[in-house]
């Protein structure tokens, strides 16, 4: 099966079964989303959603967050992974939003990555979710699933390489949705250790499943590099 046939089949399936995918992070405005995404690095959305109500109650705006100390923020987010670093990042993020961006979360990637705690993946999430731009955030789920499905070349061994290949093959209109399709599929069906192939609706377009069927093995071990 040609790669573009896989893309077409996968898009058709998810367009029917998950036409309006959304982030599972809970937020009400761009400020809350960027804070939540910073917290979600190497942490589950479920855990972040347990913490952010208390954080947003204490610091409902970038200005309020900018006036806090890292120690104060730490006390609220201590159950999140890497709370010391993230507390410092969040206070710095609040200050920069006020001082340099007039209390507006920017939409451009090159501006977003200037914010403390915001790398390319986080910036792509904000640009996609808030501004509906054709940016593809590649987390561990997107990285794994895109390789298993055969959407990207085995030679694409970095998040950036995977991002470029996905952006090239999905249309601009599909990219914001495809980001969520791949994440959710990896989170609930195409699991890292025990993929639920028997429950998967896109095995007809999956390169790894083809190998599983051909060789009669339980699962394909891609031996992909771990990413943050």
Can you say which residues are annotated as belonging to the binding site for [4Fe-4S] cluster?
190, 197, 200, 206
- 45 is an active site residue: no
Q: Residues near 36 by Cβ (< 8 Å), separated by ≥ 6?
A: 25, 26, 27, 48, 49, 52
Q: Residues near 17 by Cβ (< 8 Å), separated by ≥ 6?
A: 201
Q: Which helix (H) or strand (E) holds 127?
A: helix 120-129
Q: Which helix (H) or strand (E) holds 111?
A: helix 109-112
Determine the 3-state secondary structure of 190 from DSSP: coil
- 110 is an active site residue: no
Q: What is the DSSP letter of 224?
A: P
Catalytic residue among 2, 3, 95, 139: 139
Catalytic residue among 71, 121, 207, 226: 121
Query: Which positions are catalytic?
Result: 121, 139
């Amino acid at each position: 099966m040609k790669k573009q046939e896989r893309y077409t089949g996968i898009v058709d399936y998810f367009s029917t079964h998950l036409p309006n995918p959304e982030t599972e992070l809970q937020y009400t405005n761009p400020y809350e989303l960027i804070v939540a995404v910073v917290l979600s690095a190497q942490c589950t959305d479920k855990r972040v959603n347990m913490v952010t109500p208390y954080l947003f109650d204490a610091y409902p705006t970038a200005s309020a967050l900018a006036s806090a100390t890292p120690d104060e923020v730490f006390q609220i987010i201590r159950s999140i992974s890497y709370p010391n670093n993230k507390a410092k990042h969040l206070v710095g993020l609040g200050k920069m939003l006020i001082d340099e961006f007039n209390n507006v979360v920017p939409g451009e990637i090159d501006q977003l990555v200037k914010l403390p705690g915001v790398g390319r993946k986080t910036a792509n999430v904000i640009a996609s979710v808030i501004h509906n731009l054709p940016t593809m955030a590649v987390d561990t789920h997107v990285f794994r699933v895109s390789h298993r499905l055969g959407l990207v070349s085995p030679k694409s061994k970095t998040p950036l390489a995977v991002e470029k290949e996905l952006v090239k093959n999905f249309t601009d209109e599909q990219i914001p949705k495809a980001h969520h399709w791949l994440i959710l599929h990896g989170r609930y069906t195409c699991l890292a250790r025990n993929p639920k192939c028997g429950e998967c609706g896109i095995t007809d377009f999956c390169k790894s499943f083809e190998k599983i069927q051909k060789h009669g093995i339980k699962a394909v071990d891609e031996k992909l590099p771990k990413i943050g």
